[in-house]
Amino acid sequence: MNQTAKQLVAVIKYWQRKCSKVYFEMDEELGGFGWDYQNSCQCTSIDNSMTKLPYPTPMRVVMQYLIDLLDLEDRAVNDIDAGDPNIYSYEFQFNFSEKNFKVICNYSYITEGDEIVSMRNTKNNEVLTEVLNDLKKNGKKGKYRVDFNGSGDSGYIDDNMSSLERSEADKIPSGLEDELYDFLGARHPGWENNEGSFGFFIIDLNNNSIELNYTENYEESDSVMIHMGSIDELIQTITSSDDNNN
């Protein structure tokens, strides 16, 4: 076996002598440049007391070897039932009493909330009345759509308005743009923060109104078991895989 494989087997046998259970977690480093871990692992000793054990060897290379050996990153992607998940940690669980080994993948993903529809019209709203009248004077008629999007403490409203009735798109006048930002900010303050939101406006020149269709994004967290097997099988996989590569 190469040195890394030998170290991995030695770590497992070290834990086996001292513990009935071992748990530790590897977290994604800032920026996603690999995996990091704490300086000790959680251990249930032979007499069932809880303690922490220092690692007998530097673990970064050893555990990256195990992650690659078991194809954990590919398994995680295949087993996660969510679009574009962000994997942020792996939990490794050794149960020497039951002679099994598990890997749990923790991840987050973005999900959409319910669409919320709000209306603003020209009643008692001189600014909006002027804005919509200016559009009509410039030959606009019918309904127009304007999209918006926001996340990460920034956001934007598209600077184009597209007719829903004709093949026509024009740049939004500054007055209308100001009114849309005011409407969005007043109805949904913080629409551009955190995971943000998205949606669209319908400018209805027939009814002198603006309809705001708003959907907020939420971050959800979940976990999935991506590997389970016996500890003996794991050791055999480590030794046989390394032998096959030589």
pLDDT per position in the chain (246 positions), as tens?
A: 788 899 999 999 999 988 999 998 888 754 444 555 666 788 898 888 888 888 778 787 888 888 899 999 899 989 998 888 888 888 999 999 999 999 999 999 999 999 999 999 999 899 999 999 999 999 999 999 999 999 888 899 999 999 999 998 999 999 999 999 999 999 999 999 989 999 999 999 999 999 999 999 999 999 999 999 999 999 999 988 755 555
Is residue 173 located within the same domain as residue 140?
yes
Tell whether 114 is covered by a domain.
no
Is residue 95 located within the same domain as residue 15?
yes
Cα 127 to the chain's mean position, in Å? Answer: 40
- Please state the pTM of the whole predicted model: 0.74
Tell whether 214 is covered by a domain.
no
Tell whether 25 is covered by a domain.
yes
Phi, psi of 218 (to 5 degrees): -130, 145
Is residue 100 located within the same domain as residue 128?
no
**The pLDDT value given to residue 210:** 97
Tell whether 27 is covered by a domain.
yes
Is residue 81 located within the same domain as residue 33?
yes
Tell whether 103 is covered by a domain.
yes
**The pLDDT value given to residue 45:** 83
Number of domains within the chain: 2
> Do 201 and 146 form a contact (C-beta atoms < 8 A)?
yes
Tell whether 9 is covered by a domain.
yes
Tell whether 93 is covered by a domain.
yes
Is residue 37 located within the same domain as residue 88?
yes
Is residue 64 located within the same domain as residue 129?
no
Boundaries of domain holding 179: 123-207
The residue with tokens 């900010």 is 185
Is residue 72 located within the same domain as residue 42?
yes
**The pLDDT value given to residue 36:** 58
**The pLDDT value given to residue 32:** 42
**The pLDDT value given to residue 48:** 82
Tell whether 215 is covered by a domain.
no
**The pLDDT value given to residue 31:** 41
**The pLDDT value given to residue 199:** 97
Nearest residue to 198 via CA among 116, 83, 120: 116
The residue with tokens 């759509």 is 145
Nearest residue to 227 via CA among 98, 67, 84, 88: 67
